[in-house]
Structure 1
Amino acid sequence: MGLIHIELFTTLDLVGQAPGGPDEDPAGFPFGGWQAPLLDEATGTQIAAAYEGTDALLLGRRTYDLFAAYWPHQEGGQDNEFATLFNSVPKYVASRGKPDLSWAGSTQLGPDLAAAVREIRDRHRHVKVVGSLNLVQTLLREKLFDRLDLWVHPIVLGVGKKVFDGGAVPTNVTLLEPPTAGRKGTVFLRYALADGTPATGDMSAPDRGLGDDR
């Protein structure tokens, strides 16, 4: 069985909407392209490494349309490695509508998203979910993911669609490696889905060393 990897760029208040450019999401979001001033070499290296071994993409409709309009035209350009990868691997699209699937290797998922994702996981080793916040929120809610990579940028926007919305469910995750920070303050966090749900405790209990010691 393969792994479903969610790859996301977020702000400190976990806004993940339209990091790439002002025209990425035309829904009135005022901070499109917020990631661009915060990119640095370390973050670029981390992103490239995160995509090593990718053999499929799982995308929401909006992200798919953006990618399909850009990546097929980038072979030989400055993003050659990503263009070669994205153009060569299968692309699976989660959409209730009828997307244009003219990008080579594209397939629309059926109406039973959970079953479709499980089938993709059985078929591929490393499936990457990029952007696609509506899809991501469904995968998080249904716990249909194995890895969660977050690049947390040192800004707070206060508005915008967040990674975890009101439908988030209690979930345990495990940090897979020590966090690393880039020169401009972006912190890379890599988690794996863990069993169970969050536990609770009493921080004032004597064995915590936080009670009255008189």
Structure 2
Amino acid sequence: MGSIVVQAFITLDGVVQAGGGPDEDREGDFPFGGWQQGYDAEDEGDTIARWESRDEALLLGRKTYDIWSRSWGVWDADAEGFLGDLTRLYNRIPKYVASRTLSTLDWQNSHLLGPDLAADVARIRERTDGEIRVWGSTELIRTLAEHDLIDEYRLMVHPLVLGRGKKLFPEGFPLARLALTETRRLGSGILITVYRPVRDEAAAP
């Protein structure tokens, strides 16, 4: 069985919106797009490359899919280095998309999830041998958490407070008890923290 892993670039106040660029996600008139820039990209890149080498599938919400299909979905797969490696990986592996509005998906190896999202994701996790990666997709993450379908959170915590923007754990997020399994500081001051849910095995059916 696979594991569903949420990865996020996140600020100290929990914001995960539009870290990559000014036009990545302007929803809510968010003015701080690209806040991740200015940190040591090589430092972060080494960690991301190691994490992403474990990917066997992507699990994305509709908005994140739109962003990724217009970037990773069209970038040069023959590029050298980190960019080319990830482009080839993301093109190759299956991408499962949660959407109530899309009827077709143009990016290769992309699949729409059905109306029973939790059941579909549980089946995907059961038949996948490896990690199923979730990036962005805050609404999807909340749904997954409601159904206890998240196996790990990997967070790159940036020493930055924005004061506004979409949060990974907004008001009303389901109760979650987590165990810290890894912590590491990068040279740029970013803190890597990895958490896994504490599940009551005795209560499992």
The offset of 1:140, in angstroms, is: 2.4
Per-residue CA deviations over 1:155-179 (Å, capped at 9, x if unaligned) read 00000111101221221112222x1
* Equivalent residue for 2:143, pick from 138, 146, 150: 138
The separation in 1 between residues aligned to 2:160 and 2:126, in whole angstroms, is: 38
The offset of 1:99, in angstroms, is: 5.2
The offset of 1:100, in angstroms, is: 4.2
In structure 2, the partner of 1:84 is 88
TM-score by length of 1: 0.87
**Unaligned 5+ residue runs, structure 1?**
197-214
Query: Does the aligned pair in 1 maintain the 2:58–2:133 contact within 8 Å?
Result: yes
Q: Which amino acid aligns with 2:105?
A: L
Instruction: List structure 1 runs of 4+ shifted beyond 4 angstroms.
Output: none
In structure 2, the partner of 1:62 is 63
Q: Which amino acid aligns with 1:38?
A: Y
The offset of 1:122, in angstroms, is: 0.9
The offset of 1:195, in angstroms, is: 1.4
Q: Which amino acid aligns with 2:13?
A: D
- Root mean square deviation, CA, Å: 1.4
In structure 2, the partner of 1:39 is 40
**Unaligned 5+ residue runs, structure 2?**
201-205
In structure 2, the partner of 1:51 is 52
1:147 aligns with 2:152: yes
Size of the alignment, in residue pairs? 195
Question: Does the C-alpha gap of structure 1 residues 39 and 113 become closer, same or farther in structure 2, counting only changes over 3 Å?
Answer: farther
Query: Does the aligned pair in 2 maintain the 1:40–1:183 contact within 8 Å?
Result: no
Q: Which protein shows a greater Rg?
A: 1
In structure 2, the partner of 1:186 is 190
The separation in 2 between residues aligned to 1:100 and 1:34, in whole angstroms, is: 32
The separation in 1 between residues aligned to 2:176 and 2:139, in whole angstroms, is: 18
In structure 1, the partner of 2:6 is 6
Query: Does the aligned pair in 1 maintain the 2:9–2:19 contact within 8 Å?
Result: yes
The offset of 1:187, in angstroms, is: 0.5
Q: Which amino acid aligns with 2:165?
A: G
Q: Which amino acid aligns with 1:127?
A: I
How many percent of aligned residue pairs carry the same amino acid? 43
Query: Does the aligned pair in 1 maintain the 2:2–2:127 contact within 8 Å?
Result: yes
The separation in 1 between residues aligned to 2:35 and 2:79, in whole angstroms, is: 23
SS at structure 1 position matched to 2:70: helix
Deviates more, 1:10-19 or 1:139-148: 139-148
SS at structure 2 position matched to 1:158: coil
The separation in 1 between residues aligned to 2:125 and 2:56, in whole angstroms, is: 11
The separation in 2 between residues aligned to 1:189 and 1:21, in whole angstroms, is: 23
Q: Which amino acid aligns with 2:90?
A: F
In structure 2, the partner of 1:23 is 23
